[in-house]
Structure 1
Amino acid sequence: MSLQNSTAVVVGDGGGGGGGGGEIEEEAKAGFEQENSGTVPDDDNNSRCTPGLDDQTRSTPQSRPGDKFEPVDIIAAASSHPSSGLPPEIWTLVQSAPANFTPHYFLEVSRNLLENPNLTASHLSRAELSYQSFTDASFNPSATHPHDLAKIIRHLKPDHQPLLVDGGVPGYALEWTVVRKLIPRNPKLDESLLQTCHLFTSNEDVVVRSHDGKAREEDEDEEEERTIKAERYLVVYLPHATDPDKIPFYHPKIRGLAILYTYHPTVSPGKPLGTLSLYYDLFPQRPLDNRMTRTALKMLEIIHKHSRGRMAGYQKRVHHDIVIAQKPFQDTYAYLKGKYCKGLIDAWVEQTPAEKHVFEDLGIAAFLIELWTGMYGGGNSAQESAEFKGEEMQGAERNEEIDLERANANAKAKAKTNFPGFVDIGCGNGILVWILNQEGWSGWGFDARRRKTWATFDSSYDDKLKEMLLVPEVLNLKPSSIDVDINVNESLATTHLAGPATHNGIFPTGTFIVANHADELTIWTPCLAFLSESPFIAIPCCSHNFGGTRFRAPRRAAKAAGAPLAENHAISAPAKPKGKPATQSAYSTFCSYVSHVTSLMDYVPESEYLRIPSTRNFAVLGREKQREGERVSAFEDRMAVVRGIVEKEMATSIEVVREAWVERGSGLMKPGTGSGH
């Protein structure tokens, strides 16, 4: 059940029942998996996507109970709790708390959690909806049999058909029904689980009882019973499992869960607007235990927190899955993690934390593989996933799923055949280069300083990982004759510097350029791509100018009208409380600056917040040109364009920029500089 799934991990037994995941999974929870909760790297303080309760209470005075999450004592408050209408012989009240938000926000949160159980479940990656009634014109909320619920139901596989609440819920009307599959992060440890989700609503008055303030708890005659107007919103989750032992670790061993929000539209001043309650339908052989109680408590806290955050006007700043859909990315990531993670961590030889770098590179590799499959395989993995995830999937049978898997495999094979190769500039430890080559994507990388990790790879990587300094051809005062018709794995040796090998940044046309936290090379990446007529991805980290010097980049907006960057507001200024001036971090302004340079190089800047264990997870992509019919075809003309932009941005001559770059580059090649990346 999406809402309690995560809490079963957060507050439950750490790894019992085959779902704990071992060291690798624990590291993932602290690293890569943290990103799925929506970490926002725009701010220096890494605020979360939903403001915390402490943030709310610090900025807003407590005007009434329910502003802050304060659960009540169920036993002491049982007599005064609003009537739920749920049969008490079936449903057990587990947790309750006053709440101050209108039903609209509770419903928004409930809808969002349907497809995103990962927001509250650390062992889940997502949910896939196999049926949803929101756009089904044949949906019949008064049905007493699943086949009568909608026309499509009888065509679904039996185990995907929705479960109904026997006899319905007295006094409530069914509003919508969803059947979903909960997808675990590590399918080798946890099974997926099908689940039916219903929303019931009621406008019937409710009965409450309260003491007059003088009576003791045992004096039942002193209680006052009264009827009040109320709106009730009940979300019910029913796992498709009749045996508690068949329910995965991440899901409590219960037959059903109900979350009730009782809203009082005519509440007295100083009283909470509503009551948030959670009920379990327990298996007879599985009585309520401490873990179940704590799970329910944590779940209510999360719902309260997100609902209050939405009511406070919070607007999400970070939008994942813009370029690549969540499903193909997470499936590929899970595959790569299962195949390479343990071996890479066990063989780690750098001084930096193994888990962070391994999970980060696995995540980037998964993103690139899906990106390249869409670019070179004749399809768009994001679009295909979105279409299959939508209404078409409601009638999908297993053979259609097999066809989709086969189509994806064929697309990957075609993409590898058409792939022009990649180069990872500033490749660091070389793990990303190694993973991609192991998966059949040919390419190489270089860095100003050799890393210990390179020696752990087999001898075939001697030609794929090179120690050399990049000195852009633009900075060459005596332009050389450039032949870009070379193999992708060949390097161009230049004579800009005496001593260490250097590269001029000119690559075979079409070579996909990767700059992953490449620091000094990041701002050069769009320029190098423009010169080589290649696509690229840049993942900014530290802010450096064209001379390689640390600086605070000016905030610039990408000029491409309608570019994805503008559409998803990926680097827009975060909302600030009234009365406080808006500020942007150095990282945020550098990201916007890289996008600005991308636009200057005539690319349509695309952006994505990658699901990796790093606050520096913003990626800028350049794949399409803004003006295809006006491309600068001559190499020397492209050189002139880049040289002019560099001089303008640096407000100095190209000779001065070259001197600063060479001085910085010489320092990078000294032993002991740089990091494990």
Structure 2
Amino acid sequence: MPGKGPQPTALALDAPNPLPRLRSSSTSSSPLEWIPVVSLEVQCSVEHFQDGLVDLVLQPEHSSSTILRADVLADDELDSPSGSGSEELAPFLEGYRCVRRLRRRILPNRPQFDWAMEQECLFYQRRVDPEDGADDSNETPEREGLVVLLPDFEQLRQEDPQGRLPYYHPQVHALAFRYLPSSSRSSPASLRIDLVPLPSQPAVVAPLAQSDRLFRTALVLVKFTAKLCTGHADGWQKRVHHDLLVGKEEVQDLYQKLKDKYNADIAPHSPRITFRWMLASWRESTDATKHVFEDVAIAAWLMVLWREMYAESDGRPPGGFVDVGCGNGLLVFILNAEGYNGYGFDLRARKSWSAYSPAPDLRVSSIHPPSLVASCHSDPSTSAYPPGSFLIGNHADELTPWLPLLAACTPQSAFLNIPCCLHELHGRFDRQVYTIPEAFLSALPAPPPASSPSPATDLPTHPLLHPFYAPTPLALSSTASGPSVTGGRYAAYQLYLAHLTLRCGFVPEREALRIPSTKNFGMVGRRRLYEGMGEKGEERVWEELESVLREVERRGEWRARKPEGKAGDKDH
């Protein structure tokens, strides 16, 4: 059933506004004919079209799940008219001026099936003269926008002997995204896709059949492009910012390396659990696919974070890591197998623990957080965990809010908290709104000077912008008692954890992790709030910890949650 609003229209070969012929990049100088494919009416300007196409070019993974990402190899602004030297960087198209040339390398999401490819992304403009008789003397001349995508077939032959295009790319010699301004006040502008077929393809005749793969691909692309362009026209701003604490490329590359490593079987004399075993012989009642790839992604993210944090100790926490409430233990297994010292503990052993090979350090242990924190306070020589430990709370349930306190009781420690079920220090968290007192926010270090973020993406200049220094996806707003959030219970819970993190003397930093989970926000405590204050700073932290313990005491004795029914089989 067609959706609401304008629908794409298949174009005939004689559709108006044909593109000038494209001069081939091969040894043959024969110009190549464009084939019109599909058009869609839009309510946006050429500037919105350009912003939307930049998004499409820089982040092709948003339009295709078979693409991992695109790395930018070159980005040149061209201000000289076509025909006066810019042909060396961009093919000449009569009547059009190339204003930007961006070269990208597209990486596949499935390298076992596809291969990387390089591509020229060329941004053109053309002034549209008013129709004869029209009185446009008081209006800015309309401009036509054009973005041409040209695969580098020479480079493709280095990736594939036959020089074939990978599956994730339309099987065409060139692809054109066009913005055609309205021809009159009563008609809207339109987006349009034209293509140049591969020389090896049978004769392509427009209109393409709706069952043709090229037509179906063009249909998806024109709809997605329209969504991007009209989004910019409507003032859309990115709500969730990823990769604030570590680089996207580093994490994705390591994630792919780990996936490749654990996908492969190894010699019998060196047994090791592989994904084949994990997915086929998963011993828990939960979804194997979700947990396997989620924990691999978390492991990759942590390993990259640790490279920066612990550069002086070969990218490893000096005291090892401690996975608090480790559940199925898979994250501990992966980190141990990759040479990271540390252990995980939980209330009970899981079915998977005995099957891992080589065996990770998994322990059955029950802790009473209030007593542990109190004993560390009464005897400063004691420590909750080995000094220099990195604590991990990966869906640690009722232990989640205690993680900052346990880290505060561990010298030179840091932590990552990935909250799932919403627990307070005592009982369930059920508030829809949470406010962080201004006194705690004023203790935060000043962010670095603004670096002029890109207007197209409105990227934050520092991780601490999330969620405390500016309006954010959490709908942060100032109130008489300090900033608060009204973005729902999970959003309010993040501020609650951030407040606890501040009370425990850490600077809270939030990251949207690239994991297959709806609860994908991680909160990191790696920097001390009272850096350089020495004993005075420690006293402030212990005063807060004492206050926290008194609050818990007033609400009754803290107890670990008892699993109910099938909840006892849960592995997180």
Task: Please indicate the TM-score interval, normalised by the length of the shorter structure.
Answer: 0.7 to 0.9
CA–CA distance in structure 1, aligned partners of residues 322 and 544 of structure 2:
23
Change (3 A) 1:481 1:236: same
Change (3 A) 1:676 1:206: farther
Tell me if structure 2 keeps the 8 A contact 1:477–1:655: no
Q: Report deviation, 1:516.
A: 0.7
Tell me if structure 1 keeps the 8 A contact 2:68–2:107: yes
Are 2:257 and 1:335 aligned?
yes
| Counterpart residue number, 2:267 | none
| Counterpart residue number, 1:120 | 63
1:629 partner SS: coil
Q: Report deviation, 1:526.
A: 1.1
Are 2:109 and 1:109 aligned?
no
Change (3 A) 1:637 1:458: farther
Tell me if structure 2 keeps the 8 A contact 1:320–1:608: yes
Change (3 A) 1:672 1:110: closer
| Counterpart residue number, 1:257 | 175
* Structure 1 gap segments, 5+ residues each: 1-52, 58-67, 150-163, 209-227, 379-412, 486-505, 577-581
Change (3 A) 1:174 1:569: farther
| Counterpart residue number, 1:300 | 222
CA–CA distance in structure 2, aligned partners of residues 459 and 357 of structure 1:
19
Q: Report deviation, 1:669.
A: 9.5
Alignment of 1:130-149 (within 5 A): 130-134=73-77, 142=83, 149=89
Scaled by the length of structure 2, the TM-score of the pair is: 0.79
For residue 315 of structure 2, the aligned residue among 399, 415, 429 is: 415
CA–CA distance in structure 2, aligned partners of residues 467 and 94 of structure 1:
63
| Counterpart residue number, 1:364 | 298
| Counterpart residue number, 1:4 | none
Are 2:503 and 1:620 aligned?
no
Q: Report deviation, 1:621.
A: 0.5
* Structure 2 gap segments, 5+ residues each: 23-30, 133-139, 263-274, 448-461, 478-484
Tell me if structure 2 keeps the 8 A contact 1:317–1:572: yes
**One-letter identity of the residue aligned with 1:595:** A
Q: Report deviation, 1:447.
A: 1.2
CA–CA distance in structure 2, aligned partners of residues 575 and 633 of structure 1:
31
Tell me if structure 1 keeps the 8 A contact 2:303–2:315: no
Tell me if structure 2 keeps the 8 A contact 1:234–1:260: yes
The farther-off stretch of 86-95 and 507-516 is: 86-95
Q: Report deviation, 1:80.
A: 6.1
**One-letter identity of the residue aligned with 1:112:** D
Superposed CA deviations along residues 368-401 of structure 1, whole A, max 9, x for unmatched, are 00000111125xxxxxxxxxxxxxxxxxxxxxxx
Are 2:176 and 1:275 aligned?
no
| Counterpart residue number, 2:391 | 513
CA–CA distance in structure 1, aligned partners of residues 241 and 231 of structure 2:
17
Q: Report deviation, 1:253.
A: 2.0
Q: Report deviation, 1:482.
A: 6.8
Tell me if structure 2 keeps the 8 A contact 1:543–1:552: no
CA–CA distance in structure 1, aligned partners of residues 521 and 286 of structure 2:
22
Change (3 A) 1:240 1:79: closer
Q: Report deviation, 1:366.
A: 0.7
**One-letter identity of the residue aligned with 1:81:** P
For residue 642 of structure 1, the aligned residue among 535, 545, 548 is: 545
| Counterpart residue number, 2:268 | none
Change (3 A) 1:355 1:432: same
Alignment of 1:42-191 (within 5 A): 68-75=5-12, 81-86=16-21, 90-134=33-77, 142=83, 149=89, 164-165=90-91, 168-191=92-115
Alignment of 1:323-472 (within 5 A): 323-340=245-262, 341-377=275-311, 414-416=314-316, 419-458=318-357, 460-461=359-360, 464-472=361-369
Tell me if structure 1 keeps the 8 A contact 2:283–2:351: yes
Q: Report deviation, 1:562.
A: 4.2
CA–CA distance in structure 2, aligned partners of residues 306 and 629 of structure 1:
47
For residue 198 of structure 1, the aligned residue among 122, 127, 142 is: 122
Tell me if structure 2 keeps the 8 A contact 1:361–1:431: yes
Tell me if structure 1 keeps the 8 A contact 2:513–2:522: yes
Superposed CA deviations along residues 25-62 of structure 1, whole A, max 9, x for unmatched, are xxxxxxxxxxxxxxxxxxxxxxxxxxxx97xx6xxxxx
Alignment of 1:569-584 (within 5 A): 569=467, 572-574=473-475, 583-584=486-487
Q: Report deviation, 1:187.
A: 2.4
Q: Report deviation, 1:114.
A: 2.4
1:338 partner SS: helix
Change (3 A) 1:512 1:478: closer
The farther-off stretch of 596-605 and 240-249 is: 240-249
Are 2:416 and 1:540 aligned?
no
CA–CA distance in structure 2, aligned partners of residues 609 and 526 of structure 1:
19
Q: Report deviation, 1:443.
A: 0.8
Change (3 A) 1:256 1:306: same
**One-letter identity of the residue aligned with 1:234:** L
Scaled by the length of structure 1, the TM-score of the pair is: 0.68
For residue 247 of structure 1, the aligned residue among 155, 162, 165 is: 165
Change (3 A) 1:347 1:69: farther
The number of residues matched between the two structures is 500
Change (3 A) 1:72 1:669: closer
CA–CA distance in structure 1, aligned partners of residues 402 and 396 of structure 2:
10
Change (3 A) 1:510 1:72: same
Change (3 A) 1:468 1:353: same
Change (3 A) 1:326 1:69: farther
2:241 partner SS: coil
Are 2:479 and 1:589 aligned?
no
Give 1 or 2: higher helix fraction.
1
Q: Report deviation, 1:449.
A: 2.6
CA–CA distance in structure 2, aligned partners of residues 476 and 102 of structure 1:
60
| Counterpart residue number, 2:434 | 555
Q: Report deviation, 1:637.
A: 8.0
| Counterpart residue number, 2:570 | 675
CA–CA distance in structure 2, aligned partners of residues 478 and 315 of structure 1:
48
1:351 partner SS: coil
| Counterpart residue number, 2:135 | none
CA–CA distance in structure 2, aligned partners of residues 465 and 230 of structure 1:
67
1:527 partner SS: helix
Tell me if structure 1 keeps the 8 A contact 2:466–2:509: no
Are 2:204 and 1:285 aligned?
no
**One-letter identity of the residue aligned with 1:314:** W
Instruction: Select the structure with the greater relative contact order (CA < 8 A; seq sep ≥ 6).
Output: 1
CA–CA distance in structure 2, aligned partners of residues 476 and 183 of structure 1:
48
CA–CA distance in structure 1, aligned partners of residues 371 and 538 of structure 2:
11
Q: Report deviation, 1:344.
A: 2.1
Q: Report deviation, 1:551.
A: 3.0
| Counterpart residue number, 2:513 | 610
Tell me if structure 2 keeps the 8 A contact 1:71–1:95: yes
Are 2:132 and 1:232 aligned?
no
RMSD of aligned alpha carbons: 3.2
Alignment of 1:21-32 (within 5 A): none
2:258 partner SS: helix
2:492 partner SS: helix
Q: Report deviation, 1:188.
A: 2.9
2:256 partner SS: helix
2:352 partner SS: helix
